[in-house]
Chains A and B, each alone.
Chain A
Amino acid sequence: MLTFNLLVLVALAYVAFLFAVAFAAERRAARGDDGWLRSPLIYTLSLSIYCTAWTFYGAVGYAARSGLEYLTIYLGPSLVMIGWFWVVRKLVRIGRTQRITSIADLISSRYGKSTALGVIVTILVVVGITPYIALQLQSITLSFSVFVDPGGDVPAGASRDAVALWSAAGLALFTILFGTRNLDANERHHGVVLAIAVEAVVKLCALLAVGIFVVWGIGRGWTDMLARIDASPIADWSQPGGRWVGLTFLSAAAFLCLPRMFQVLVVENGNERHLVTASWAFPLYLLLMSLFVVPIAVLGLDLMPAGSNPDLFVLTLPLSQGRDGLAMLSFLGGFSSATSMVIVATIALATMVSNHIVVPVWLRLRRDGSMIAGDVRGVVLLARRVSIAAVLALGYVYFRLSGGGAALSAIGLIAFVGVTQILPAMIGGIFWRGATGLGAAAGLVSGFAIWVWTLFLPSFGADAVIPAQVMAQGPWGIGWLRPHAFFGVQGIDPVMHAMIWSMLVNTSLFLIVSMLTFPNPLERMQGAQFVNVFEHSAGTRAWGQTAAAAEDLLIMAQRIIGAADAQAIFLRAAQAQGKPGYLPDVTPDFIALLERELAGSVGAATAHAMVGQFTEGASVTVEDLIAVADEAAQILEYSTQLEAKSAELEQTAGQLRAANEKLTALSVQKDSFLSQISHELRTPMTSIRAFSEILRDGDTGPAEQQKYAGIIQDEALRLTRLLDDLLDLDVLEHGQVELHRQRGQLRDVIDRAVSAAGPRGGRLRLVRRRADEAIMLETDLERLAQVFINLIANAQKYCNAADPVLRIEVARLGAGYAVDFVDNGTGISPEHRQVIFEKFSRLTDPGRAGGAGLGLAICREIMARLGGGIDYLPGQGGAAFRVVLPVADAMAAQ
């Protein structure tokens, strides 16, 4: 008998071997020597993760229980691969041109880069696949337990749970090490893929070895075997045709929709031509995998004691015959099946969770332009690693909670039905331009809900989640909502029942809602790109001319895909445009290209939002221009049906007009900025020139000379101040601002501002309540003081009361604080309040102001950078400004 310790040792050695294989593959790939790593053979073998422990061990059990029905699980994928030309080829082409990272990304990208759809699909697959991962953990622990001598040489702590825990931890380590080596999913995971291919060979050899041993070792060859099969109950099972068709459809759909299959089939695909090989080689692999299933089942039923678990025949048959080596090989086969599935499924799920949930949330939290300041690359990698650990932890927790019992064994088909909910949105999305995001969402959500209610929740067992009474009579006694008898349809097996209803409702809603809704322009454009991917793989996505600076985009791209890759992309693009250096013109083509490259790392929706942050900085949003470009393209395409589309035309014209108006407004804004800046520079220059000429003429007295030199100096200072302000504002608006965060008292910051602003306007009286100002801040105190100085200086200059008073008050705002600056002058009229924060918006005469009207614009930029805000506070009598301190930075008075 094999000892438990030896088993652990062999498993560890095998894992170490896989690490070595993956590591060597990564090394080779890093050297650029990855020719054979990308061969069609490796690709085909990597597809074998379809065969999980559920198929390795379970197929025999399935055959022992239900006869040849297990074949449907192999039949569906075989049909998909044989018919690769129709669906798989299109998916792979779309995956490459659109740089799709996961199935959630595919759906999100197709329907207008919708964040919501990405989240829906991600949640759906996490819910569906987590139990499936738990099933793999169960199979590992189960196979370990088979070897444990009932007498028990099990070391303390090596319980079932411990095996599962250590397996999960080991798998997490492997996946993090080789699954997140680089960010760009399109760079592919050479190490992981090769390790999977090796595991594919191991599990095939193991199953074949056990089969050969069973037929020729125990039995006496094929003839004897066939006789035994005829004699066994397996030959008697009748196979209802409808169920066969249903299960075949289900396995075919799952083959396309399972996140791990999408990962190896589409994302890891290095070359479309590999599909040609895989189209015959993969069905052949499945055939070999299924060849000996029936003989093993038959002999198992014959030879093993009654009541032994048919799911473990593959292990227990060799063991019972004293073939420890064969049992060990078989164990490694099952171990390979489980680990390879878990690794790839986890990579796929983690990519979705991080791209569609973690990173968008993170981006939303840091909306203040820190896109440039923060290292997105690090965040995305960290998010992915944490997601991997979380997914595996979730699988482990599920395994513990479900007790690892019978509830798990059905989970394979249950998960299949769950992920199949994606099928209508996916197939519809790549073949039908009329499919809309709302339709997809309606189908997905309804199908998902029905699946949860009719199959997933009941799978926990009676009374576990759904009370037995609800199962029997429906919720609140509504009979037609009974989980296993929707609309009173009874007597179908739960899996078929759930599949029929969920697919029926899902597909119907998808079609109906799609026909009733109008896709937005981006959605329509993506739809055209997906459906017509073979016609224009080069990509015709049009971006509007934008004000985004190439340098800003480069900085952002470097943070996401790394400096070397980003520079290479920019360099290539610049060369293609015939420009020297790293900065190409920001053309629509270039932006589309860049967005696709970034999508490979962070998903389409996020990439679009990130590029959008820069390209939409101008008053004319990119969205508008896309809308215009897209509508125009649509009109060309449908020119023959123009009469019928007059409403659409109207809409297009409206959008064009609006975009045109915005462009005009932008141009006027730029002209007026130039004219104002020229005016502000010329005015002090005029005084300087005039007085320097007067002094040079030399017919002035000493007192006048003194005075005029003073004026020249003042005006020169004014010029300097103006240039400083302009540079400051430019840096704040566009550049990389370094914030020097430190802790300090609000009171000290106000003190500093008051003394800095003090000497110039002694007349203004300040009223403060210093006790309220005892608030600890952690922010850039210098910048905050700059804002306060500006506000005090404004009150000094503009407050027109006879006895000017400025009140500085601290106000409590929810979790944070604000500081109000209120004077007792006549205030600012409502129509002017709109413009005071704009550049050069000086309201009164320059003699009194002595500034260029940049102060409040600078204040607004500073507060935005600090994560707070500044606003005019109406209804205070005089002019009043409220500075909202950044919430996270303000800490309550201690």
Chain B
Amino acid sequence: MARRVLLIEDEPNIIEAISFILSRDGWTVHAHADGTTAFDRVRALPPDLIILDVMLPGRSGFDILRDLRAAPALAAIPVLMLTARGQTKDRELAERLGVSLFMTKPFSNAEVLANVRALVAE
């Protein structure tokens, strides 16, 4: 069965790009653009990997990550945080909250793909 990735991201063009890259590699990509309902979506799926943006309408990626790590059933899902906010303090905050990997935009497609593979293989 194809592995499932949940992409929580609000920029339509970025959703399109990541979906294309991962689908081409055989992943099933679900996209979700809203921060408030993202947690419910994770619980409903749940995916093998989450790619999480930070600046989301309604609720920030940091808050969603904190909720995920606090929920016993979902805490083990690897989270790849992908954000345009590249400041050190953002990275530090993400790491404190238990992010699996922190990447800044713009990214190289190959790197994203390699990281997704590595995170799910672990």
Chain A residues in the interface with B (C-beta under 8 A): 675, 678-679, 682-683, 685-691, 693-694, 697, 699, 711, 714-715, 844-847
Partner pick for B109 among A678, A679, A693, CB 8 A cutoff:
A693
Interface size class of B (residues with CB under 8 A): 20 to 34
Stretch at the interface among B16-24, B44-52, B72-80, B92-100: B16-24
Contacts A682-B86, A682-B105; A687 near B24 (Cβ below 8 A): no
Which residue of chain B lies nearest to A697 when distances are taken between CB atoms in the complex? B109
Chain B residues engaging chain A, CB cutoff 8 angstroms: 10-14, 16-18, 20-21, 24, 33, 55, 57, 84-87, 104-110
- Contacting residues, chain A, for B21 (C-beta < 8 A): 690, 694
Contact A847 B11 (CB under 8 A): yes
Pick 23 A–B contacts, CB within 8 A, sort by A.
A675-B85, A679-B84, A679-B85, A682-B104, A682-B105, A683-B14, A686-B14, A686-B17, A686-B107, A687-B13, A688-B106, A689-B107, A690-B107, A690-B109, A691-B13, A693-B108, A693-B110, A694-B20, A694-B21, A699-B24, A845-B10, A847-B11, A847-B12
B41, chain A: closest CB distance, angstroms: 16
What distance in Å separates the Cβ of A687 from its nearest Cβ neighbour in chain B? 4
Is the pair A679, B13 in contact by a Cβ cutoff of 8 Å? no
> Would you call the interface of chain A mostly helix, strand, loop, or mixed?
helix
Q: Is the CB of A683 within 8 A of B11?
A: yes
- Using CB atoms, name the residue of chain B closest to A683: B84
Report Cα–Cα, A197/B70, bound state, in Å.
93
Residues from chain A with Cβ under 8 Å of B55 in the complex = 679
Are the CB atoms of B16 and A711 closer together than 8 Å? yes
Q: Is the CB of A847 within 8 A of B107?
A: no
Nearest to A712 among chain B residues (CB) is B13
B108 — which chain A residues lie within 8 A by C-beta?
689, 693
Whether B106 pairs with A682 at a CB distance below 8 angstroms is: yes
Q: Which B residue sits closest to A671, measured CB to CB?
A: B87
Query: What chain B residues lie within 8 Å of A844 (beta carbons)?
Result: 57
A689 to B21, CA, bound (A): 13
Cβ-closest 6 pairs across A and B: A690-B17, A682-B84, A686-B105, A687-B13, A845-B57, A689-B106
- Report the separation of the CA atoms of residues A844 and B58 in the bound assembly, to the nearest whole angstrom: 9
Query: Which residues of chain B have C-beta atoms less than 8 A from A690's C-beta?
Result: 14, 17-18, 21, 106-107, 109
A687–B84 contact, CB under 8 A?
no
Min CB–CB distance A251 → chain B (angstroms): 74
Measured in the bound complex, the distance between the Cα atoms of B102 and A188 in whole Å is: 69
For the complex, give the distance between the alpha carbons of A686 and B55 in Å: 14
| Interchain CA distance A679-B12 in the complex, whole Å | 16
CB distance from B88 to the nearest CB of A (A): 11
Q: Besides the contacts A686-B11, A686-B17, what 8 more A-B pairs have beta carbons closer than 8 Å? A: A687-B11, A689-B108, A690-B14, A690-B107, A691-B17, A694-B21, A697-B109, A845-B10
Q: Give complex CA distance A697, B108 in Å.
A: 12
Count A/B pairs, Cβ under 8 Å.
Answer: 67
Given contacts A678-B84, A678-B85, contact A685 B105 (CB under 8 A): yes
Q: Which residue, B13, B14, B87, B105, has most C-beta atoms of chain A within 10 A? A: B13
Chain A residues with CB under 8 A of B13? 687, 691, 711, 714-715
Question: By the criterion CB–CB under 8 Å, are A694 and B109 in contact?
Answer: yes
In the bound complex, residues from chain A placing their C-beta under 8 Å from that of B24 are 699
Neighbouring A residues of B33 by C-beta, 8 Å: 845, 847
Contacts of B110 in A (CB 8 A): 693
- Alpha-carbon distance between A699 and B24 when the two chains are bound, in angstroms: 10
Residues of B within 8 A of A689 (CB): 106-108
Query: In the complex the two chains form, is A687's CB within 8 Å of B107's CB?
Result: no
Residues of B with C-beta under 8 A to A675: 85, 87
- Complex-state Cα separation, A683 to B105, whole angstroms: 7
In whole angstroms, how far apart are the Cα atoms of A689 and B18 in the complex?
12
CA distance A844 to B13 in the complex (A): 17
Q: Which residue of B lies closest to A707 (CB)?
A: B16
B2 shortest CB reach to chain A, Å: 19
Residues of A within 8 A of B12 (CB): 847
Give B11's nearest chain A residue, CB to CB. A683
B19 nearest CB across to chain A (Å): 11
Complex Cα distance, B24 from A34, in Å, reads 88
Known contacts A699-B24, A844-B57, A845-B10; is-contact A686 B84 (Cβ 8 Å):
yes
Question: Complex formed: what's the CA distance from A378 to B103 in Å?
Answer: 59
With A and B bound together, what is the CA distance between A678 and B87 in angstroms? 10
Distance between B42 CB and nearest chain A CB, rounded to angstroms: 20
CB distance from B10 to the nearest CB of A (A): 6
Cβ-defined contact, B10 with A847, below 8 A = yes
| Alpha-carbon distance between A123 and B11 when the two chains are bound, in angstroms | 66
Q: How far is the CB of B20 from chain A (nearest CB, A)?
A: 6
How distant is the Cα of A694 from the Cα of B109 in the complex, in angstroms?
8
Cβ-closest chain B residue relative to A689:
B106
Residue of B nearest to A682 (CB): B84
Q: In the assembled complex, how far is the CB of residue B107 from the closest CB belonging to chain A, in whole angstroms? A: 7
Is the beta-carbon distance between A678 and B11 smaller than 8 angstroms? no
Docked-complex contact A846 and B11, CB < 8 angstroms: yes
Question: Which of A678, A686, A846 has the most CB atoms of chain B within a 10 A radius of its CB?
Answer: A686
- Chain B residues with Cβ below 8 Å from A683 are 11, 14, 84, 105
B61 to chain A, nearest CB (A): 12
For B17, the closest partner residue in chain A by CB is: A690
Most buried by B among A679, A711, A715: A679
Rounded to whole angstroms, the CA-CA distance of A846 and B12 in the bound complex is 10
Cα–Cα distance between A715 and B12 once the two chains are bound (Å):
11
A844–B57 Cα gap in the complex (Å)? 7
Residue from the list B57, B87, B106 in contact with A686, Cβ < 8 A: B106
Most buried by B among A687, A688, A690, A847: A690
In whole angstroms, how far apart are the Cα atoms of A543 and B110 in the complex? 55
Contact A687 B109 (CB under 8 A): no
Q: How far is the CB of A719 from chain B (nearest CB, A)?
A: 12
B120 to A: closest C-beta gap in Å: 20
Complex: chain A residue closest to B55, CB-CB: A679
Chain A CB within 10 A, most for which of B11, B21, B108, B110: B11
Check A687/B17 contact, CB under 8 A, given A679-B85, A847-B33.
yes
* Inter-subunit contact A694/B86 (CB<8 Å): no
Partner of B86, one of A678, A846, A847: A678
Residue of A nearest to B57 (CB): A845
**Minimum distance in angstroms from A746 CB to a CB of chain B:** 37
- Out of B14, B57, B86, B87, name the residue touching A687 (CB < 8 Å): B14
**Nearest chain A residue, comparing its CB with the CB of B84:** A682
CA distance A847 to B39 in the complex (A): 21
A792 vs B10: C-alpha distance in the bound complex, in angstroms? 25
Q: Contacts of B11 on A, CB cut-off 8 Å? A: 683, 686-687, 846-847
Query: Quick one: which of A687, A688, A699 has the most chain B CB within 10 A?
Result: A687
Residues of A contacting B20 with CB < 8 Å?
694
Known interface pairs A683-B105, A691-B17; A846-B84 also in contact (CB < 8 Å) = no
Q: Which residue in B10, B16, B85, B106 is a CB contact (below 8 Å) of A685? A: B106
A-side contacts of B109, CB under 8 Å? 690, 693-694, 697
For the complex, give the distance between the alpha carbons of A161 and B56 in Å: 84
Residues of A within 8 A of B84 (CB): 678-679, 682-683, 686
In the bound complex, CA of A846 to CA of B53 (Å): 13
Q: B9 → chain A, closest Cβ, in Å?
A: 10
A846/B17 in contact, CB under 8 A: no
Contacts of A711 in B (CB 8 A): 13, 16
Q: Which residues of B contact A845 (CB under 8 A)?
A: 10, 33, 57
Instruction: Find chain A residues with CB under 8 A from B16 CB.
Output: 711
Complex-state Cα separation, A711 to B16, whole angstroms:
10
In the bound complex, CA of A333 to CA of B20 (Å): 102
CB of A723, distance to nearest CB on chain B (Å)? 16
Q: How far is the CA of A699 from the CA of B107 in the complex (A)?
A: 20
Q: Closest CB of chain A to B86's CB: distance in Å?
A: 7
Q: Tell me, in angstroms, the Cα distance from A675 to B104 when the chains sit together.
A: 13
Quick one: closest B residue to A714, CB to CB? B13
Q: Given the complex of chains A and B, what is the CA–CA distance between A679 and B16 in angstroms?
A: 19
CA of A43 to CA of B38, assembled, Å: 86
Separation of A711 and B12 alpha carbons in the complex (Å) = 10
* Whole-angstrom CA separation of A675 from B55 in the bound complex: 12
Residues of chain A within 8 A of B106, CB atoms compared? 682, 685-686, 688-690
